[in-house]
A and B are shown apart, each in its own frame.
Chain A
Amino acid sequence: MKLVTAVIKPFKLEDVRQALADTGVQGLTVTEVKGFGRQKGHTELYRGAEYSVDFVPKTKIEAAVAEDLLEAAVEAIVSAAGTGSIGDGKVFVADLQQAIRIRTGETGDQAL
């Protein structure tokens, strides 16, 4: 099992959700986050007071997937979240030791 974590542009969330669902991914957790990468922040000006906003709003998605789905899932995220411009985000893949479905007690791939 792998944990796929992706930080994407917020407006791409619906496209990514659809693409992941099409590959057979059964569940997804979404968090609104802020951060920075190569894309710089921006400045805001209120009555002459200039504030630089260094952290850009992003959406983080996390999905636990079975090994055989991994490649398709990553491909789905990359193609759905991409705009070709700076700030499209990143995908991280990590090993996942265990997963348990709370309702039934099922574990491993059965729980995903």
Chain B
Amino acid sequence: MKKKLLKLICAGSSTLLTALMPGIVLAQDVLDSGDTAWMLTSTALVLFMTIPGLSLFYAGMVRAKNALSVMMQCFAICCLMTIIWVLYGYSLAFDSGGFVGGLGKAFMAGVTVDSLSGTIPESVFAMFQLTFAVITPALIVGAFAERMKFSAVLWFMAIWVTVVYAPVCHWVWGGGWLGGLGVLDFAGGTVVHINAGVAGLVAAVVMGKRQGFPQSPMKPSNVVLTMVGAAMLWVGWFGFNAGSELAADGTAGMAMAVTQIATAAAALTWMFSEWMSHGKPSALGLVSGAVAGLVAITPASGFVGPMGALVIGIVSGYGCYLAVVKAKRAFGYDDSLDAFGVHGVGGIIGALLTGVFVDEDLGGSGLAEGATMLSQVGLQAVGVIATILYCGIVSFIILKVLDSVIGLRVSQEEEQVGLDLVLHDEQGYNLSGN
């Protein structure tokens, strides 16, 4: 009763204060320079994940004749997504609306030097979110690498980010229905990784296998570049996960810690799994495990504790290992660089386990009021299934339409020569000096 009275007085006086001083702004609308500094840094880190991190990671895994093509696809996607984002993408994702955001922020309307989003400039928020809209389509490149026409890549990505990424991003982070239901996705398990993984799987199936898959050798051109790229992804991912707190605070700190823990655990798990089944540990396996761990901890990063992260790392390392090494072969689809096996499967594992390890008893930040672990895992499953269904169906339609209008694949002969020379009149490697 006493408390209630105090609250009433406080509320009354603050109303009075606001009334007396109309110029005063509410607490959450004040720019915080610490938060802003961290978010500027995070934005740069996440961009660094795509160019050069993911680009190198992928370029090293394809054959030498296609190395430049995947780097170019990632780079061009980065540019294209930026333009789409400032024209209408940001608005579709983050303007208020229903199924998808409105067009109130199209052409970056209202984003000025002084406009704020929480405690950071809205310009920084929009650019931070842009780097997610850049890396998500770029991840899909791994699934159809070495056989898709460059023009088809650009068309597909432009349409996909508009009708798949922007709506799903809006559902989870833009005030849409999944976020409203209480689905937990701290940094993009559904929006980024399941979305990209499923789109990749659909693309791999619709386009068909590369010539010679799986009987002919398709050796990675440069595993050194792949390791360099994976290391850059790891570093950049601190911006991705700890940056998703949108502030420089304790949650961001814990997000960074759990990111490191899960990644290391997953990398070792993959390495030891391969060591036990094949007899030797491989560099590609080690870094593939690291990426699997990074993916899986993404939705969980702001919610789980260090030991939860350890378990998520181990489960995702082994789960993705099975998906890539066993399942892909069993089903026979040609997901060239395992966009689905790592990002799709890792994203699903992470999203579901977020519902488990968010529990305070397991070291997490705590379940929402009234939620049980079971109900939260159920909610997480709703998020996963909704993303898989929506993304899978719409991606399929886009690909089929594009295939009939402009064609998705290069010709058989062009595929044999390699995309670098055929599509770009260049070669990634001119080691002979001629």
Q: Report which A residues bind B (CB closer than 8 A).
A: 44-49, 51, 53
Closest to B217 in A: A51
* Chain B contacts for A53, CB-based, 8 A: 217
**Interface flag for B218 (CB, 8 Å):** yes
Closest to B216 in A: A51
B210 CB to nearest A CB, Å: 12
B11 CB to nearest A CB, Å: 60
Between A and B, 6 residue pairs with Cβ closer than 8 Å are: A45-B278, A45-B282, A46-B219, A48-B328, A49-B218, A51-B217
**Interface flag for B285 (CB, 8 Å):** yes
Closest to A51 in B: B217
A51 CB to nearest B CB, Å: 4
B319-375 with Cβ < 8 A to chain A = 324-326, 328-329, 338
* Chain B contacts for A44, CB-based, 8 A: 219
CA distance A98 to B428 in the complex (A): 43
CA distance A102 to B274 in the complex (A): 57
CA distance A47 to B217 in the complex (A): 13
CA distance A47 to B284 in the complex (A): 7
* Chain A contacts for B118, CB-based, 8 A: none
**Interface flag for B214 (CB, 8 Å):** yes
Q: A45-B278, A46-B282 are in contact. List 6 more A-B contacts (CB 8 A).
A: A46-B61, A46-B220, A48-B326, A48-B328, A49-B214, A51-B217
**Interface flag for B288 (CB, 8 Å):** yes
A85 CB to nearest B CB, Å: 20
A50 CB to nearest B CB, Å: 8
Contact A47 B218 (CB under 8 A): no
* Chain B contacts for A45, CB-based, 8 A: 274, 278, 280, 282
A47 CB to nearest B CB, Å: 5
CA distance A49 to B61 in the complex (A): 12
* Chain A contacts for B325, CB-based, 8 A: 47-48
Contact A47 B338 (CB under 8 A): yes
Most buried by B among A44, A48, A49, A51: A48
B296-338 with Cβ < 8 A to chain A = 324-326, 328-329, 338
Question: Chain B, 195-217, contact with A by CB distance < 8 Å: what is the 0/1 string?
Answer: 00000000000000000001001
Closest to B277 in A: A48
CA distance A48 to B324 in the complex (A): 7
A31 CB to nearest B CB, Å: 14
CA distance A68 to B3 in the complex (A): 111
Closest to A50 in B: B278
CA distance A45 to B329 in the complex (A): 14
* Chain B contacts for A48, CB-based, 8 A: 324-326, 328-329
Contact B324 A47 (CB under 8 A): yes
A100 CB to nearest B CB, Å: 27
CA distance A47 to B328 in the complex (A): 10
A46: contacting residue among B280, B284, B326, B329, CB under 8 A: B284
CA distance A47 to B282 in the complex (A): 9
CA distance A49 to B278 in the complex (A): 11
B108-124 with Cβ < 8 A to chain A = none
B66 CB to nearest A CB, Å: 15
Closest to B342 in A: A47
Give 10 closest A-B pairs by Cβ, nearest first.
Answer: A48-B325, A51-B217, A47-B324, A46-B284, A45-B278, A46-B220, A47-B284, A47-B288, A51-B219, A47-B325
Question: Chain B, 215-232, contact with A by CB distance < 8 Å: what is the 0/1 string?
Answer: 001111000000000000
CA distance A46 to B285 in the complex (A): 8
* Chain B contacts for A49, CB-based, 8 A: 214, 218
B204 CB to nearest A CB, Å: 15
CA distance A24 to B315 in the complex (A): 65
Closest to A43 in B: B278
A42 CB to nearest B CB, Å: 11
CA distance A53 to B217 in the complex (A): 9
A41 CB to nearest B CB, Å: 11
Closest to B285 in A: A47
B8-42 with Cβ < 8 A to chain A = none
B281 CB to nearest A CB, Å: 10
* Chain B contacts for A51, CB-based, 8 A: 217, 219
Closest to B326 in A: A48
CA distance A61 to B280 in the complex (A): 34
CA distance A45 to B326 in the complex (A): 13
* Chain A contacts for B220, CB-based, 8 A: 46
* Chain A contacts for B338, CB-based, 8 A: 47
A8 CB to nearest B CB, Å: 22
A49 CB to nearest B CB, Å: 7
